[in-house]
Amino acid sequence: MRTKLTVTFALLALGAVPAEARDDKHMFPIKAALGKREQYKEKLESDIALYFGKQKTPVVEKRIGEYTSNKKTNGFNKSDQEACDIAFISAAAALQDRARREGGNAVINIHSVYRNENVASESEYLCGSGAVMSGVALRGTVVTLAKGKK
């Protein structure tokens, strides 16, 4: 009898869960996220340059490889943009770390990747937000840029 009650309550509890999970896609401005740099000073550093979309870069001396960074953050008690900005900064910082490890001094052609959808933009990034988590995946090419040459 006790087992039947436990199963009944468990089934009732499962019925209280919404049938559809939230899976929203947003485009947010890169400048706004980078403008919060003071908040995340320890995350992004100036020694590795970041170039989004088709932004013009100095001369590329060496292409090292293409890498992806996928970061998520808890969206609880945050707006979608705030959670997405945090995930974006973390993903950009991870690309910088990868460039540093590989011996590069920049990451170029950075674009958003979401469920096999590539979005290249100089001004916006793509973020996915669910009921609890928000995530940003960035893909870019680690390079060595010539210093002083355009």
pLDDT computed for residue 17 by the predictor: 47
The span from the CA of 102 to the CA of 48, in Å, is: 12
Residues 106/149, Cβ–Cβ less than 8 Å: no
pLDDT computed for residue 64 by the predictor: 98
pLDDT computed for residue 150 by the predictor: 54
Q: How many CA atoms lie within 13 A of 17 on its CB side?
A: 9
pLDDT per 10-residue tile (average), the chain, 150 residues: 50 48 92 76 84 97 98 93 94 97 98 92 96 96 84
pLDDT computed for residue 35 by the predictor: 83
